[in-house]
Amino acid sequence: MDNLKKVGLTALAGSLVVAGHVSAAEMSVSGSATMSYNGGDEDKTEGQGWTMGDSVTFSASGDVNDIGVTYSVELDGDAADGGGGVDNYSLAFDLGDAGSLTFAGHGGDGFMSANDDVMPTAHEEPWDIVTSAETQLINGHSGNNMFNYKYSHDSGLNLTVGYLNAADAVTDVSYTDYGVTYTGVEGLTLGYGQGDVEQTTNTKSDESTMFAKYAIGQVTVGIQMSEKDNESGNDYETTGVGISYQVNDDLAVSYGSHITEVDGTSPDQEASAVSVSYTMGSLSMSLSMHQVDNINNVGTNDREAYNVSLGFAF
C-alpha cells in the first residue's frame, strides 16, 4: 500500500569496495506514511480499526568492476512488521544487456507473488479488507533470501525467474517460478507465470496465472485467470476482472470482481469492490468498498467492509 516517491536527496558519499576497486555511491532516500481505517467487517480483528504504516527506504548505487550494484534497506515503523526496525532489504546487480539479478535478504518476491492480482484498481483488490477472503489467493511462494532474475528485450518480451532455496522454516523443497510478459503493443500487457510449491514435504501444488490488460485513453480493462492443482486435496481456480477510469490527472475510479471456484465444493466465493483515489502532490486519499459472498466457499458467509486511507509521500 506504500506509495514511495523518490525525492531529490542525492549525494556522492560512501563507497563500494570489491577486490580493491572503489566506486562512489549515489545515495537516495524515499518514504511514506499512511493512516487507514477498516470498517464494516464485524469479524475484523484490528481492535478499533485504525492502523498506521510508515517507512523510509535508503538506497546506495554505484559501479563495481563495471557492474551496477544497488543496496536498498527499508526502515519500517509499522507494528505489523514487528513494531519497527529494518524491514525489506536487498542487493541488486545490473548486468547490462544480460538483465538484472536481485538477492532479497528480506521481502523477496517471485513472479507469482508479485503478480497474484494485477487488475486495474484505484485502491485495494476485491478480495482484500474482508477477513479471510484472501485465504485461497493463488500467489506461488515467496520468502527471505530469495533470488530474482529479470531480462527485458527491446521487442517488449520480459522474463522473470525466481528461486528460493529449501529451508525447513520456509519451504521443505526449493521453490522456483518463472513468468513472461509482453508489452510490445502500446497499451497492451500480456502475462503468464507458473510455479511448483511444496512448502511441506509431499504436499505439492502446481500454480499458474495468465492475464491481459489494455489501456486506451483514460480507461484500462483487464482479466486474469489463475489455477492451483494440488497433488492431494481439491483443485481450484480464480478469475478476476477489473476496469479503471482516470477522470483526470488526480482522480481515478475503478470496479473489480474476483471469483474463486473449488472443485467439488459449492458455492463459489464472489468478491467485488468499488474504489476511488485522489492525489494532490504528495498527498493521496483513497476509499474502497468491498462485498464478499460465500467466503471460503461457505454458503451464507457474506460480509461487507470498507477501507479509507490517507497517505503522504516524501
Torsion angle of C-alpha atoms 6, 7, 13, 17, degrees rounded to 10? 0
What φ, ψ does residue 113 adopt, rounded to 5°?
-75, -35
Average pLDDT taken over every residue of the chain: 87
Pick the CATH number of 5-313 from 2.40.160.10, 3.40.140.10, 3.40.50.2020, 1.20.1740.10: 2.40.160.10
pLDDT in tens, 242-281: 999 999 999 999 999 999 999 988 899 999 999 999 999 9
What pLDDT, on the 0 to 100 scale, is given for residue 212? 98
What pLDDT, on the 0 to 100 scale, is given for residue 40? 83
Please tell me the least confidently modeled range out of 67-81, 174-188, 300-314.
67-81
Residue 20 has pLDDT above 80, yes or no: no
User: Which of 237, 225, 298, 240 is CA-nearest to residue 265?
Assistant: 298
User: Which of 267, 272, 271, 270 is CA-nearest to residue 298?
Assistant: 267
**pTM of the predicted protein model:** 0.86
**274 near 242, Cβ under 8 Å?**
no
Spell out the alpha helix ranges (H) of the chain.
111-114
Q: What angle do CA 168, 75, 82 make, to 5 degrees?
A: 50
pLDDT category at 9 given cuts 50, 70, 90 is very low
Mean pLDDT of the 24-47 span = 79
Structural domain boundaries of the chain?
A: 5-313
pLDDT in tens, 39-93: 887 655 555 788 888 889 999 999 888 889 999 999 876 545 444 577 899 999 9
pLDDT in tens, 97-156: 999 999 999 989 999 999 999 999 999 999 999 989 999 999 998 888 999 999 999 999
pLDDT in tens, 184-223: 999 999 999 999 988 677 788 899 999 999 999 999 999 9
C-alpha cell of 206?
502446481
What pLDDT, on the 0 to 100 scale, is given for residue 266? 83
